[in-house]
């Protein structure tokens, strides 16, 4: 009997882990949440940039577009540096997020380009 008990506990454990994982998809969820919370006020939820914010910052709307060709041409390393270190009116996020968070958010922002096509 003892063996059967352990066995059924094992199955329950696996099922519990399985439903935990499917309820918490890894990369996409947190990166999207972080982007919406910390970046979309200037860059828009679609990553294309807010025209009104471009006016406030006196920059070309394209400067806020994270899905434009100029931005997509830049390497992930360079863009992560901009996110963490800032650039002109772009605030620095160093200390507010890890390098990995910044890279995940960037991957998410770049994926928006494909979705909007």
The answer to whether 55 contacts ligand HEC (rule: CB under 6 A) is no
The answer to whether 87 contacts ligand HEC (rule: CB under 6 A) is yes
* Among 85, 90, 96, CA closest to 42: 90
Q: Which stretch binds ligand HEC (CB under 6 A): 1-9, 11-19, 25-33, 34-42?
A: 34-42
The answer to whether 57 contacts ligand HEC (rule: CB under 6 A) is yes
Helix (H) or strand (E) holding 51: helix 51-57
Nearer to ligand HEC, 19 or 87 (CB): 87
Q: What is the dihedral of CA 98, 103, 105, 106, to 10 degrees?
A: 140
Q: Residue 112 corresponds to which tokens in the numbers above?
A: 């928006």
Least distance from ligand HEC to the Cβ atom of residue 24, Å = 21
Tell me the C-alpha distance between 54 and 52, whole Å.
5
The answer to whether 69 contacts ligand HEC (rule: CB under 6 A) is no
Least distance from ligand HEC to the Cβ atom of residue 54, Å = 8
Contact between 13 and 21 under an 8 Å Cβ cutoff? The reply is no
Tell me the C-alpha distance between 68 and 110, whole Å.
10
Binding site for ligand HEC (CB under 6 A): 38-39, 41-43, 57, 59, 63-64, 66, 70-71, 74, 79, 82-83, 87-91, 93, 105-106, 109
């Amino acid at each position: 009997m003892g063996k059967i008990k352990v066995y059924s506990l094992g199955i329950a454990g696996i099922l519990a882990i399985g439903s935990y994982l499917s309820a918490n998809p890894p990369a996409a969820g947190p990166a999207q949440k972080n982007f919406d919370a910390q970046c979309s006020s200037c860059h828009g939820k679609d990553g294309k940039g807010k025209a009104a914010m471009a006016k406030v910052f006196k920059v070309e709307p394209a400067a806020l577009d994270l899905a434009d060709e100029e931005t997509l041409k830049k390497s992930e390393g360079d863009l992560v540096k901009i996110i963490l270190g800032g650039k002109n009116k772009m605030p620095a996020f160093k200390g507010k997020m890890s390098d990995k968070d910044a890279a995940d958010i960037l991957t998410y922002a770049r994926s928006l380009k494909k979705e909007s096509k």
